[in-house]
């Protein structure tokens, strides 16, 4: 193989050539000799000139060689440095050969006497170029080998992970890559430990990708194959000795399996084996956890009464189910068909204790053991690993290769995907499931309700406490938040009560856990109280309502209104229908949209919501930014017309709810005027003096708004809006005061004022006249006072407005009280309309 010429024992000196010394002095006596001397010196000068020229040629050749070498390395098209990876292998030697050839070519241009010195310099430079070229090629070769090896691993991961459903092929693919790791490691001088570490790294990466693939293909199949029995429908009891009562020999106690859970293809956490029929657990707490998980699985599937739970737990074909149901219901002290909330740890504990005693004829477990096991079932805490418990193998090689932490992570991931897909499914089926869901979630039967499979698909198997992986990074607080954020308020309080630390051993740790749980409960409930609808949206329980389009708004609102009463009850929050953001968007519509569009939105709300209490809650939120629209919405929902003005010589003025609502909206807009961008603002409709109108309003309502100044002001502003709307319709823009018109307005805004028995003014139910009111009061008195056994002293009673069709009964300086000492509220069974806060309640 040709090499760059090398030269040894190169000697150099930085001493320059000696300076020439020429003496041209002469005399006639030595003229001839002088001529000879001059000739010799001239010849010396000529030689020195030739030497300098040769040195210049040598330097020029060196520069040409350096330029050539630089081009060989760095040419943007052909240079060695442009060749990477596989393309750089074997390229150093051809380039060095080109350098040698160039050096030989340039050496021929140098005088022969100077060639040794030139070649010595070239040789020194060439050795540097050689080291640089070989180092680059070796680096690229190593990079190429490493990239190829990593590509092999990546391809192996992709190939093997796609075989998750074929264990044999999956294992074979892993072994094939293991062999390549052995070969590569040996070739590169790896230690045995390095090779083993790379195998483990590959195995775990492949297992994670394989599990990801299976979850992506079918999270349901993944859960069914790898979950505990409680994740896939729950286990059932089978009789052992006495099908009518307990198992007789306390077999469950010996097996640490107090629920006598039957063995199945799936393994439980803490399972150590079986006795041929029943599962054996490492500790009693693991067995109690399994029982609790099983009962929670039933609850998620809709089995939430003693009758339903025991019928599934101990089916009639193998057990005396009726006696089992009667015994458990008796132990709990509830009827067999009463709905149980098993997320309440107190209820879950009572039911578990009853089943344990029924199954074993005894219960030697302490309250601490039962509490520990059931808290683990709820996901609030974890049980310590049992030394003699088998690793929970599922038969899926990839899943079995994961450590416990990764297994739990992927199970939660699958459950989260299931929750998301169930949320989408709920949206698609909400029209059909709306009423059935409300009844089913309350443990009631519903005609033609969806089947169990449809309900499970929509609402899921998994405990909701595990839906929130986003809190895991907050460690203990995140774990507690994840445990309580889906629990009803009452269940949270029961859990806090159960977790109260007891002085004694471990008190400090228990107190710390209790404080963390308390903080988590406070955090969740503050978020719920701040905006319960937004919180439910974050939990993927509710979908956003499209506010911008009235048709889509109605469709989404019907679903929302059906769910919010239950969510409000679960969260322990005031009933809300919209999130703060949605309510603000509606407020803008009621402030800026044309009147016809405002009416369309109000009518859509009224028809879509249906339930009156929920409708009023929605209007309460609207009132925060558009109080006039809220009042118009209330009046629009009234059942009949109101007589706004009685006339002797002409027909009375009757106003129906829709016309009253539209007039109020028109008047409100007319009073405010308009401001068009880029133009001068248009002033609002001229109104009479406020002092005159306010005085007439105070005279009209009398003491009907006693103690409710805010409600009185709201009613006054509504009357002004109605007045302005009537004035605009009549084309009256003078601002002159029309008392007759204002009387109509006050009647519409209050429903009418009536001095009952001369004892003070009250607001009439909207649309009810005075005579009808007297009859309604008499009927209500007979039913709710005398008929209820309330002793009413003789005398003349007055009324005080308390709500729409609701009145306190004035007696002297106080109120008539019932037999418990509470004020009697006379209810005429009309919709409540009381100006409290911003709108009637």
The 3-state DSSP class for residue 682 equals strand
* pLDDT given for residue 304 in this prediction: 82
Residue 330 pLDDT level (bands cut at 50, 70, 90): very high
In 3D, which of 835, 368, 418, 360 has the Cα closest to residue 634? 835
- Does residue 328 surpass a pLDDT of 60? yes
On the question of pLDDT at 320 being above 80, the answer is: yes
Beta bridge partners of 113: none
- DSSP for 157-193 reads HHHHHTTTT-HHHHHHHHHHHHHHHHHHHHHTT--HH
All structural domains of the chain with their residue ranges: 28-140, 229-396, 763-840
Query: Poorest-confidence range of 84-98, 313-327, 437-451, 746-760?
Result: 437-451
Q: Which of 549, 205, 636, 607 is nearest to 406 (CA)?
A: 205
Asked if 792 contacts 816 with a C-beta cutoff of 8 angstroms, the reply is: yes
Give every CB contact of residue 335 below 8 A, 6+ residues apart in sequence: 329
pTM, two decimal places:
0.43
Which burial class, exposed, middle or buried, applies to 719 when counting CB atoms under 10 A from its CB (0-12, 13-18, 19+)?
buried
349-361 confidence digits (pLDDT tens): 999 999 998 888 8
Which is it for strands 839-840 and 835-836: parallel, antiparallel or unpaired? Answer: antiparallel
Asked if the model's pLDDT at residue 462 lies above 70, the reply is no
Q: For residue 528, what are the contacts with CB-CB under 8 A and spacing of at least 6?
A: 535, 571, 572, 573
List, in order, residues 6 or more apart from 542 with CB less than 8 Å away: 533, 536, 560, 563, 567
- pLDDT band at residue 428 under the 50/70/90 scheme: low
Identify the band that residue 727 occupies on the pLDDT scale cut at 50, 70 and 90.
very high
Are residues 645 and 653 in contact, defined by beta-carbon separation less than 8 angstroms?
yes
| 19 neighbors 45 (Cβ within 8 angstroms) | no
**pLDDT at residue number 233:** 56
Q: Give the integer Cα–Cα distance in Å for 811 and 815.
A: 5
Structure tokens belonging to residue 769:
């006249």
What separation in angstroms does the CA of 712 have from each of 448, 630, 656, 703, 834? Answer: 49, 16, 23, 10, 10
Looking at per-residue confidence, does 301 or 547 come out higher?
547
Provide DSSP, 601-630. HHHHHHHHH--HHHHHHHHHHHHTT-HHHH
**Short-list 807, 808, 667, 802, CA closest to 748:** 667
Give the up-direction half-sphere exposure of residue 617: CA atoms within 13 A in the CB hemisphere: 19
CB 312 within 8 A of CB 298: yes
User: Using CA atoms, how far apart are residues 702 and 756, in angstroms rounded to an integer?
Assistant: 12
**In this predicted model, what pLDDT tens digit does every residue of 520-544 receive, in sequence order?**
788 788 888 889 999 888 888 888 8
Is the pLDDT at 19 greater than 60, yes or no? Answer: no
Return the percentage of the chain with pLDDT > 70, whole number: 79
**Higher local confidence (pLDDT), 85 or 410:** 410
* Residue 506 token pair: 């471990």
Answer for the pair 165, 214: CB distance below 8 angstroms, yes or no. Answer: yes
- Which whole number is the average pLDDT over 610-639? 86
Split at pLDDT 50, 70, 90, the class of 429 is low
H or E element that contains 210: helix 192-217
Question: Contact, 687 vs 671, CB < 8 A?
Answer: yes
Over 50: is that where the pLDDT of 46 sits? Answer: yes
* Sequence-separated contacts (24+) of 400-407 with Cβ below 8 Å: 401/203, 401/204, 401/207, 402/204, 402/207, 402/208, 402/211, 406/204, 406/207, 406/208, 407/226
State the CB neighbour count (10 A cutoff) for residue 164.
25
Q: What's 812's DSSP letter?
A: T
Residue with more model confidence, 816 or 362: 816
In the structure encoding, which two tokens stand for residue 629, read together? 């629209």
Can you spell out the DSSP letters for 494-533? HHHHHT---SSTTHHHHHHHHHHHHHHHHHHHHHHHH-HH
- Do residues 746 and 726 lie in contact, with contact meaning Cβ atoms separated by under 8 Å? no
**Nearest partner of 826 among 769, 772, 784, 794, judged by Cα:** 784
pLDDT for the residue numbered 185: 82
Q: Which residues contact 188 (CB under 8 A, 6 or more apart)?
A: 145
Is the per-residue pLDDT at 598 higher than 70? Answer: yes
Write down the pLDDT at residue 4: 34
Query: What sections of 75-163 are H helices per DSSP?
Result: 92-107, 115-161
pLDDT at 448: 58
Contact status, residue 275 vs residue 255, Cβ threshold 8 Å? yes
Rounded Cα–Cα distance for residues 659 and 648 (Å): 24
User: CA angle at residue 341 from 338 to 343, to 5 degrees?
Assistant: 165
Q: Which residue stretches of 541-689 are H helix?
A: 550-571, 580-592, 595-609, 612-623, 627-636, 657-672
Q: Quick one: pLDDT band at residue 716, thresholds 50, 70, 90? A: very high
**φ, ψ of residue 609 in degrees (nearest 5):** -75, -45
Best mean pLDDT range from 266-270, 405-409, 781-785: 781-785
Minimum mean pLDDT among 94-98, 120-124, 449-453: which range? 449-453
- Cα gap 622→157, rounded to integer Å: 56
Which alpha helices (H) appear in 314-450, and where do they start and end?
321-332, 345-360, 367-378, 397-401, 404-440
- pLDDT tens digits along 160-188: 778 877 878 888 888 888 888 888 888 88
Which of 341-360 are b and which e, b meaning 16 or more Cβ less than 10 Å from the residue's Cβ?
A: bbbbbebbbbbbbbbbbbbb
Query: Of the given ranges (120-124, 449-453, 802-806), which has the lowest mean pLDDT?
Result: 449-453
| Pair of tokens at residue 122 | 């070239």
């Amino acid at each position: 193989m040709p090499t760059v010429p090398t030269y040894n024992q190169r000697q150099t000196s930085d001493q320059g050539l000696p300076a020439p010394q020429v003496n041209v002095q002469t005399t006639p006596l030595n003229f001839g000799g002088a001529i000879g001397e001059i000739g010799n010196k001239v010849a010396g000068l000529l030689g020195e000139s030739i030497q300098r020229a040769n040195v210049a040629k040598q330097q020029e050749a060196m520069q040409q060689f350096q330029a050539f070498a630089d081009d060989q390395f760095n040419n943007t098209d052909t240079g060695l440095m442009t060749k990477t990876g596989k393309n750089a292998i074997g390229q150093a030697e051809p380039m060095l050969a080109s350098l040698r050839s160039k050096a030989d070519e340039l050496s021929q241009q140098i005088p022969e006497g100077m060639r040794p010195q030139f070649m010595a310099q070239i040789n020194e430079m060439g050795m540097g170029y050689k080291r640089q070229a070989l180092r680059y090629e070796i680096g690229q070769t190593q990079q190429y080998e490493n990239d190829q090896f990593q590509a092999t691993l990546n391809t192996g991961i992709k190939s093997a992970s796609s075989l998750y459903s074929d264990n044999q092929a999956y294992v074979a693919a892993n072994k094939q890559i293991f062999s390549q790791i052995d070969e590569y490691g040996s070739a590169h001088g790896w230690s045995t430990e390095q090779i083993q570490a790379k195998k483990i790294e590959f195995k775990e990466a492949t297992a994670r990708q394989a599990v990801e693939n299976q979850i992506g293909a079918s999270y349901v199949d993944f859960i069914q194959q790898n979950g505990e029995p409680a994740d896939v429908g729950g286990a059932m009891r089978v009789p052992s000795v006495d099908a009518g009562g307990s198992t007789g020999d306390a077999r469950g106690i010996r097996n640490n399996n107090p629920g006598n859970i039957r063995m199945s293809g799936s393994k439980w956490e803490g399972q150590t084996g079986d006795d041929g029929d029943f599962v054996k657990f490492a500790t009693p707490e693991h067995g109690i956890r399994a029982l609790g998980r099983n009962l929670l699985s039933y609850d998620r599937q809709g089995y939430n009464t003693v009758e339903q739970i025991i019928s599934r737990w101990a089916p009639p074909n193998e057990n005396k189910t009726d006696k089992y149901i009667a015994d458990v219901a008796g132990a709990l002290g509830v009827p067999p068909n009463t709905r149980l909330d098993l997320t309440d740890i107190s209820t879950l504990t009572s039911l578990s204790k009853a089943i344990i005693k029924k199954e074993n004829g005894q219960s030697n477990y302490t309250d601490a053991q039962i509490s520990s096991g059931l808290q683990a079932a709820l996901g609030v805490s974890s049980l310590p690993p049992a030394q003699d418990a088998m690793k929970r193998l599922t038969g899926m090689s990839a899943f079995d290769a994961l450590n416990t932490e990764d297994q739990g992570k992927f199970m939660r991931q699958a459950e989260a995907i299931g929750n998301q897909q169930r949320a989408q499914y709920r949206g698609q089926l909400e029209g059909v499931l709306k009423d059935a869901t409300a009844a089913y979630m309350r443990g009631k039967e519903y005609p033609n309700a969806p089947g169990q499979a449809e309900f499970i698909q929509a609402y899921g198997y998994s405990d909701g406490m595990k839906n929130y992986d986003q809190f895991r990074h907050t460690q203990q607080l995140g774990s507690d938040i994840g445990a309580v954020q889906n629990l009803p308020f009452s269940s949270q309080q029961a859990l806090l009560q159960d977790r109260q630390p007891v002085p004694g051993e471990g008190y400090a740790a228990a107190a710390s856990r209790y404080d963390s749980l308390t903080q988590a409960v406070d955090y969740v409930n503050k978020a719920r109280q701040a905006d319960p609808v937004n919180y439910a949206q974050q939990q993927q329980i509710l979908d956003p309502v499209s506010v911008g389009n009235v048709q889509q708004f109605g469709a989404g609102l019907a679903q929302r209104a059906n769910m919010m009463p239950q969510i409000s009850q679960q969260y322990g929050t005031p009933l809300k229908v919209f999130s703060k953001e949605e309510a603000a968007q509606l407020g803008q519509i009621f402030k800026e949209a044309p009147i016809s569009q405002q009416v369309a939105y109000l009518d859509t709300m009224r028809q879509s919501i249906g339930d009156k209490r929920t409708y009023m809650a929605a209007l309460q939120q609207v009132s925060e930014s558009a109080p006039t629209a809220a009042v118009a919405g209330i009046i629009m929902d009234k059942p009949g017309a109101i007589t706004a003005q009685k006339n002797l010589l002409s027909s009375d003025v009757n106003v129906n709810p829709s016309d009253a609502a539209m007039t109020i909206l028109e008047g409100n807009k007319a009073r405010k005027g308009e401001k068009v961008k880029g133009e001068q603002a248009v002033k609002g409709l001229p109104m009479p003096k406020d002092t005159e109108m306010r005085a007439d309003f105070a005279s009209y309502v009398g003491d009907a708004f006693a103690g409710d100044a805010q409600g009185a002001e709201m009613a006054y502003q509504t009357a002004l809006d109605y007045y302005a709307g009537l004035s605009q319709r009549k084309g009256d823009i003078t601002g002159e005061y029309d008392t007759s018109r204002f009387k109509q307005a006050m009647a519409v805004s209050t429903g009418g004022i009536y001095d009952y028995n001369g004892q003070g003014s009250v607001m009439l139910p909207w649309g009810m006249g005075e005579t009808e009111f007297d009859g309604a009061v008499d009927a209500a008195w007979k039913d709710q006072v005398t008929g209820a056994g309330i002793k009413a002293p003789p005398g003349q009673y007055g009324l005080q407005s308390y709500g729409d069709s609701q009145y306190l009964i004035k007696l002297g300086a106080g109120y008539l009280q019932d037999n418990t000492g509470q004020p009697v509220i006379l209810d005429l069974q009309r919709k409540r309309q009381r100006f409290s806060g911003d709108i009637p309640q």
